[in-house]
Structure 1
Amino acid sequence: MADVKAPVIGRDALGREVKDLSVIPWWGVDRKEIEWYPKINYSVCARCGLCFITCGRRVFDWDTEEGKPVVARPYNCMVGCNTCAILCPCNAIEFPPKEYVKKLVIEHGIIRKAFEITKPLTKKKEESTNGAESVFNP
């Protein structure tokens, strides 16, 4: 995988460093080609800020005028991560269905790439990975 450095693009409302993680491909796929990021339903959002405070990838900013979180850097979101939605006490954060990510895994041969990375780390020789691989490559 490419060793791309993410540039620092500023600081968030809490003074934390913000990097542009959208420049880092996801398994060789341009991150901006993948529509995986949170959407906030403000009609149920409590505006507690838990998503803003806990997201380690600085996807959210805080709108100081309105007192609410905003998705400021959607492509900083790690593909497949939905921690903010899980933590949201109001279920106000939505993501695409998990099938969307599974389709990407299949289309881009990601399971094969993962096997290539983890195989040297495995002490016990595997008899075959074909069974697991066939699940993702029908």
Structure 2
Amino acid sequence: MAENTFMGVPREKITWAPVIDYTRCNYCLECAKFCPHKVYEMREEEPRLIVANPTNCVVFCRACAKTCGPDAISFPEKSQVLEAIKALRQDEGGK
């Protein structure tokens, strides 16, 4: 199985994943229904929606946040993530 990378960096080293604001989330599950990458899960025992598989999230995709009516989903700043990717590439001998 091929390693999942983005711009030459292993995906698990890239801090791009949704953050849920639980003070806004109404648990409609639109984000989970919309995302084909199974990033979200509903935990019955809590019950609450969680980011269960953050590395499944496509780097720089924000589509689930656009489906969120209460605006409860946010992402890191793209510029900060790009800077981190550049630093990781340099650490790994990349360009």
TM > 0.5 fold call = yes
Superposition pairs of residues 1-138 of structure 1, within 5 angstroms: 4=2, 23-103=3-83, 107=86, 108=89
How many residue pairs were aligned?
Answer: 88
For the pair shown, which has the larger CA radius of gyration, 1 or 2?
A: 1
> What TM-score, normalized to structure 1?
0.57
| CA root-mean-square deviation | 2.1
Q: Gaps (5+ residues) in structure 1?
A: 5-22, 109-138
Percent identical: 36
Query: Is the partner of 2:50 in helix, strand or coil?
Result: strand
Q: Gaps (5+ residues) in structure 2?
A: 90-95
Distance in 1 between residues matched to 2:84 and 2:37, nearest whole Å = 21
Distance in 2 between residues matched to 1:71 and 1:39, nearest whole Å = 8
Question: What is the Cα deviation at residue 104 of structure 1?
Answer: 5.3
> What TM-score, normalized to structure 2?
0.79
